Structure 1
Amino acid sequence: MSKFEQSKQKLRGSIAPIITPFTEDGSVDFETLESLINWHIESGSHGISVTGTTGEPSSLTIEERIQVIERAAKAVNGRVPFVPGTGSTNHEETLYLTKRASEIEGVDGVLIIVPYYNKPSQHALYKHFKKVADTVPNLPIIVYNIPGRTSVNLEVKTLAKLNTDCPNIIGVKESNKDFEHVNRVLLECGRDFLLYSGIELLCYPMLAIGGAGYISATANVEPKKVAEVYDAWKEGDVERAANLHYELMPLNDVLFKDTNPAPLKAALGMMGRIKPILRLPMDLPTKELQDEIRAVLQHYVELDKVTAK
């Protein structure tokens, strides 16, 4: 079995996209980051990711992103797969971050977002990802398609060509509400291509069409139940998987009433897991939304029994 075939067997389930915690002075809180990673692994998350959308990468310097990846890799310590985000709107930054990640022990693959803001053509997207893949030929790459953030949709034909031409492009995270599109990804790229949902309400449905799992922001708050959806499906307990899917729906809804990860950080602050701090231009939700988050959250966790940090 080739290295990439092994990766396709390994990188499945709930890969939790961890938030980047900050201290009161705005610096990265590495101690809390390590605590969160340990909590996720103990709760059953099947993999860990950092510095993706939920990790506020655009609010971090390049060096901070590398430091977060290094510290996270050390905290994971090979217990579950580790797939950090190394994409940027800047091509050279993406190359640099990806090459640095490839040199860090414990990195099992990388998640690379479609460049945002500059709205490249499909031809330009192909050249961008092809160059990155060729630069790190031994590193598994998961492309990250999130049209709502990038204003560009990576079309299925473009992804299929990348899959054909780049052996190390092994999957895609689709934060795409077009369920027809995600069905066609597996049709065109092959059923062994790793398809992950980045849309919370499609995490369970994506499994039904052959998805490898999901990278769900909600896992930051309910890692155990989010992971159990995949576990139940894998065990053939379709009813339990569906029940968990619907049980998580109110939490999914309220956590996306403001831009991710602002509601997540508010919720984690209420749970005592982090100091709820974001870097501008991001900020916490309004008091009204925070009250709504608290009201929903109390149905999932016992807030008064969590020790505040």
Structure 2
Amino acid sequence: MFEDVKNRLRGSIAPIITPFDTEMEVDTGTLKSLIDWHIDSGSHGVSVCGTTGEPSSLSIEERELVMETAIRAARKRVPVMPGTGSANQKETLHLTKRAQEMGADAALVIVPYYNKPNQQALYNHFKTVANSVDIPIIVYNIPGRTGVNLEVKTLARLAEDCPNIIGVKESNKDFEHVNRVLLNCGRDFLLYSGIELLCYPMLAIGGAGHISATACVAPKEVADLYNYWKAGEVDKALDLHYKLMPLNDVLFKETNPGPLKAAMGMIGKIHPAMRPPMEMPSGKLYDEIKETLKTYGYLESINQ
């Protein structure tokens, strides 16, 4: 079941930022341009309203707007995997059903944050969400943001009991944990890295790809990391892994997506803005981001 979708959902699934205009409203025109840029640059898919998309700063109506804009802009050229989860199950169910109605290829559903459910509660939550729709569900485990880790045994129960739970985005620095995901859920279970420095290592253990925020600045390179690996050009993949490391590091010196949005503003892709209480980086970090982009040649075309 879902074999065709599983094949299409491999590679670099770029987590798109939510652009705001000068009035701090969602800038749908820029969002459409970003989708086109990612597709032209080789991203294998796109995701909106994940962590990088600032969903906690958006209303439910705005999240629906972002999802619909992305799905329409993609025009089936690549799969779209919107983030539909929240700390509120009713909201999660609503957004996941809306994603299905809009034609999303899959839904990325985060472990509920702040309220820290136990493992049985997490199982019940994800099973309820999965049973409410027919589209594939990718579980999103990011314990550094949610305050709770979805344990491998819980995920394995979900994979066995819910046929449309077909994968997981692991923003989990515990590499032993992510190895055990494929051991317990099966090696055809889609495992994505959400940790930039683990994108390459996860491919080596059988991962399906990555959902890396760095793709928002370097979509071609992050896609090529997967392409090289798939083509068996391991040395090229490894070289690219290390080449991207300084960029990965600087983009996460403050909470994502602040440094990322600053970088995207520098390369002329967006009006760089975050909604309060989050703020854009400034001072020393701003300068460091700019200098890092220069070393990669990303500012040459706009004379910065």
TM-score, normalised relative to structure 1: 0.97
Q: In the comparison of the two structures, how many residue pairs are matched?
A: 304
Q: Which residue of 2 aligns with 1:172?
A: 168
Question: 2-side partners of 1:26 and 1:191: how far apart?
Answer: 43
Q: 2:302 & 2:119 partners in 1: Cα distance?
A: 48
SS of the aligned residue for 2:102 comes to: coil
- CA shift, 1:301, in A, is 3.2
Letter in 2 for 1:28: V
The answer for the alignment partner of 2:149 in structure 1 is: 153
Match runs of 1:217-228 below 5 Å? 217-228=213-224
Provide the residue aligned with 1:117 in structure 2.
Answer: 114
Counterpart position of 1:182: 178
Residue aligned with 2:295, SS = coil
Note the C-alpha offset of 1:188.
Answer: 0.2
Structure 2 counterpart of 1:99: 97
1:198 to 185, 194, 197: 194
Shift of 1:303: 1.4
**307 and 94 in structure 1: CA distance in 2 versus 1, 3 angstrom threshold:** farther
Q: Give the alignment's Cα RMSD to 1 decimal.
A: 1.0
Deviation at 1:257, TM superposition (A): 0.1
SS at match of 2:105: coil
Structure 1 spans left out of the alignment, 5+ residues: none
Whether 2:249 is the aligned partner of 1:246: answer: no
**Deviation for aligned residue 1:300:** 1.8
Aligned equivalents of 1:56, 1:82: Cα separation in 2? 17
Letter in 2 for 1:32: T
Distance (whole Å) between structure 2 residues aligned to residue 42 and residue 252 of structure 1:
22
Which ranges in structure 2 are unaligned for 5 or more consecutive residues? none
Structure 1 stretches of at least 4 aligned residues deviating more than 3 Å after TM superposition: none
* 8 Å CA contact 2:294, 2:300 repeated in 1: no
Report SS of the residue matched to 2:46: strand
Which residue of structure 1 lines up, in the alignment, with residue 72 of structure 2? 74
| SS of structure 2 residue aligned to 1:143 | strand
Alignment match, 2:284: 288
**1:103 partner SS:** helix
Aligned residue among 35, 38, 60 for 1:37: 35
Distance 2:298 2:196 in 1: 23
| Residue deviations 1:93-132 (CA, integer Å, cap 9, x gap) | 0000001111003x10010000000000000000000000
> Deviation digits for residues 246-267 of structure 1, max 9, x if unmatched?
0000000000000000000000
> Matched residues in 1 for 2:284 and 2:72: separation?
39
For 2:20, the equivalent position in structure 1 comes to 22
Secondary structure of the 1:164 match is helix
Asked if 1:134 is matched to 2:131, the reply is yes
C-alpha separation in 2, matches of 1:171 and 1:104: 21
The amino acid across from 1:108 in the alignment is D
Q: Matched residues in 2 for 1:59 and 1:304: separation?
A: 33
